[in-house]
Amino acid sequence: MNNNMRMEDYSETYFYSLWSWTHLLCGFMFFIIMCKYFKLSSLHICIILLIFHTIYEYKDYYITYNVYDNNIKKINNGRRMLRVKQLKEKIFPGSKPEGEFHMPPQSFANSIGDTLFFMAGLLIAHFVKDKIGQKVSKIILAISIIYWIDILISYIYVIDLGLHDKKYVEKNL
């Protein structure tokens, strides 16, 4: 079997993946931050966060099915290119190359699963929000800021390589 035509083992094609837990945690943390610092109602927080999360999931779906045309060879080549560049340039040393979660494949089932986990995080946060004090809120805020700076840096790296540009992907992968 030609390895370029076989999907490398990425769990993002399934309803549930390891990243689903990250969605749950983000739903929880964002809910607490918006509740404690913006003083919004639970309903308004859920609506706002679900809109943002849906946009995020649409971006993943769009990259898989529009930019990469759900083409296994292009997806594998893009992921390999990212790994090679990051290892060569020692980006995020000492860990698995970052940024791969910005890459396809992202199936519709995985987007639904991630959204349900995100909603579970919102629900859990709704029930514990009154038990979370100011000190824990500040810790949650600090962790969120650090986490999202890392996410932004890795996403900029993916964009800079052209791995979310349809013309670049069609021409080079």
Separation CA 90–CA 107 (nearest Å): 30
* Residue 5 resides in a domain: no
**7 lies in a domain?**
no
- Domain assignment of residue 3, yes or no: no
Asked whether 86 and 99 are in contact (CB, 8 A), the reply is yes
Q: What is the pLDDT of residue 107?
A: 83
For the chain, 173 residues long, give each residue's pLDDT as a single digit of tens.
333 444 555 555 678 888 889 999 999 999 999 999 999 999 999 999 999 999 999 998 899 999 999 898 898 899 888 888 777 776 655 445 556 777 887 888 889 999 999 999 999 999 999 999 999 999 999 999 998 888 888 888 889 889 999 999 999 98
Sign of CA dihedral 135, 136, 141, 147: positive
| Residue 91 in domain | yes
Residue 133 included in any domain: yes
Domain that includes residue 136, residue range: 15-172
Domain assignment present for 8: no
By C-alpha distance, which of 58, 59, 50, 65 is closest to 121? 50
Alpha helices by DSSP H, 16-165: 18-38, 42-62, 72-88, 108-128, 134-160
Domain assignment of residue 164, yes or no: yes
Structural domain contains residue 28: yes
- Note the pLDDT of residue 153: 82
Q: Hey, CA dihedral for 91, 97, 98, 103, is it positive or negative?
A: positive
Phi-psi category of 99—alpha, beta or left, where left has phi over 0 and alpha has psi -120 to 50?
left
Structural domains in the chain (count): 1
